[in-house]
Amino acid sequence: MVKTEKQIFANDAKKVARRPKVIVVGAGFGGLNAVEKLADVAVDIVLVDRDNYHGFWPLLYQVATSGLGPQDIARPIRAIFKGRQPNLDIVLGNVVSINLQDKTVCIEGEKSLSYDYLVLSPGSSTADFGIEGVNEFAFPLKTLPDATALRDHILTSFELADADDLYIEKGALNFVIAGGGPTGVEVAGALSELVKKNLSQDFHHLDVSRSRIILVETTDHLLGQFSKPSQRRALEGLISKGVEVHLGQSIASVARDHVVLGDSSIIPTATVIWTAGIRANPLLDTLGVQQMRNGAVVVGQDLSIPNHSEVFVIGDSAYAIDKKGAPLPQLAPFAVQGGRHVAKCIRNDLSYTPRPKFSYLNKGIMATIGRRSAVAEIPVVGLKLGGTIGWISWLLVHLLFLIDFRQKIMVLWSWVWNYFTWERSSRVIIGTVPIPHASQLFSNHPLVESSDLGPKGVDPQDSIQPLSD
């Protein structure tokens, strides 16, 4: 049948009217910023994440050490965009593969979604570096379930030790932290304060001084991205809090009831907190493109994948270099700036103007060691802060970047209350099997139950592949 002129014009109008579809994978810092900056652009956006919330992961360690509750650092994605971005659809699902040739995203249990532009911000998982026992017996700290499982474990360890001193001899109160980066340092400092200022008051009949907090770092310094004065300040701060710091030492293996160090020494423990490294989300392995050893995808100057200009990778998933050829840091500011840059590239494409090159602005790095003790370096203005000033700067910056006003108020109140009272209010045990390997290491105790779901009472694979940066 021959089409009439009217039908031809109608079909052409439909083609013109079709808006490009942008799929954003991951509702972390990068994904959210990309979505927000596309609010007034003539595109249809689909934001996909396996969780229904955005988490402020720089404060995840405070959930693990009872300083904050999960609700203090997480905000439902739909609430973030409620009523203010009509070009956005949100899909709760786990992306399992991506077909670059067909331009489709496959969601587990759902049909594939097609895209014109794809923004990948799926975050990272824990890197075990091939060390025996890490995946089975160590605690990662990448997601809210990770943080609450670790909190439950720590609190229950003290409950068991209070019931029977035998548990202390078996290592129930020995806490080994693998990795001397910002997360490892912050966990060590916060855990020390929790034990000395809170749990020592909670357990009147328990000799809390027998608890050991041990930080193991393979290099000869802490905080590798910081200057030597800041590294030295962090080391002195942790030692003053009673943390045992082992520099130039590695972890050879992790078992259910002990850890073996590189020098063959053995530390009895049921708690190894793994902050030693990250690997890009395994989802990226399905792309079939160039990746670095840590799984990060090599991207071009506009953060797109070479030969696939419609696909961008940002945050922990991206390997990008600066003007000097040095890799850009896998930090939240990189993800935030990457998300905004990608939105600008898409906007420019639609207006037929050249894409800008990505230029990373290093606004600084920070790490807190504990109350009135932190290090902060701001290269833009050449500042290196420490002590109380560094700590206040850390507090203000983290409050500023919390996404929700209610969260800002709640976190600020928690910090003020803690400062004047030393009280950490989030000391509740909510898990069913908080102690890993409890049925074998800490047997015959009413608080310990067996489980078919692995060492933490959950499938360990459920918490190592987050879809958010």
Span 158-172, average pLDDT: 92
Q: Which CATH class is domain 134-276+364-462?
A: alpha beta
**DSSP 8-state assignment for residue 329:** P
d(CA 63, CA 174): 20
Q: How many other C-beta atoms are found inside a 10 Å radius of the C-beta of residue 270?
A: 29
pLDDT at 449 over 60: no
Q: Where in the chain is the domain with CATH 3.50.50.60?
A: 20-50+93-126+279-350
The pLDDT of residue 467 is above 80: no
459 burial via Cβ count (<10 Å: 0-12, 13-18, 19+): exposed
> Do residues 172 and 161 touch, judged by C-beta distance below 8 A?
yes
pLDDT at 436 over 50: no
> Is 244 tagged catalytic?
no
The span from the CA of 450 to the CA of 421, in Å, is: 37
* Nearest-angstrom CA–CA distance, 442 and 161: 10
Q: At 407, is the pLDDT very low, low, confident or very high (cuts 50, 70, 90)?
A: confident
CA nearest to 120, candidates 284, 275, 313, 283: 313
pLDDT at 233: 96
pLDDT at position 178, please? 98
Interatomic CA distance for residues 196 and 168, integer angstroms = 16
Q: Is the pLDDT of residue 67 over 70?
A: yes
User: Contact at 8 Å (CB) between 448 and 440?
Assistant: no
pLDDT tens per residue across span 3-14: 454 444 444 444
* Dihedral sign, Cα of residue 79, residue 81, residue 83, residue 87: negative
DSSP track, 86-110: TTEEEEE--EEEEETTTTEEEETTS
Give dist(CA 185, CA 275) in Å, integer: 9
292 vs 433, more confident: 292
Count of other CB atoms within 10 angstroms of residue 430: 11
Q: Which two tokens stand for residue 125?
A: 């998982």
The residues facing 114 across adjacent strands are 104
Contact call for residues 121 and 273 (beta carbons, < 8 A): no
| Cα–Cα distance measured from residue 17 to residue 253, given in angstroms and rounded to the nearest whole number | 59
Around 73, how many Cα atoms within 13 Å sit in the side-chain half-sphere?
Answer: 25
Q: What pLDDT was estimated at residue 149? A: 93
In the chain, CATH 3.50.50.100 covers: 134-276+364-462
The alpha carbon torsion through 387, 388, 389, 392 (nearest 10 deg) reads: 130
Least confident of 49-58, 260-269, 306-315, 398-407: 398-407
pLDDT recorded at residue 206: 94
Q: Is the model's pLDDT at 136 over the cut of 50?
A: yes
Architecture per CATH, 20-50+93-126+279-350: 3-Layer(bba) Sandwich (3.50)
Residue 129: count of CB within 10 angstroms of its CB: 15
What does the chain come to in residues?
Answer: 469
- Looking at beta carbons, which pairs linking 4-13 to residues 24 or more positions away fall under 8 Å? none
- Residue 212: per-residue pLDDT: 97
Tokens of 337: 């700036």
Mean of the per-residue pLDDT values for the chain? 88
pLDDT at 422: 86
Query: Does the model's pTM come out above 0.95?
Result: no
Per-residue pLDDT, averaged over 454-469, amounts to 36
Check residue 444 and give its pLDDT: 44
* Residue in the block written with tokens 């041990």: 214
Average pLDDT over residues 296-303: 97
Is the pLDDT assigned to residue 286 strictly greater than 80?
Answer: yes
pLDDT at 8: 40
What average pLDDT score do residues 247-271 get?
Answer: 96
CA-only gyration radius of the chain, Å: 24
Catalytic residue among 159, 169, 186, 377: 186
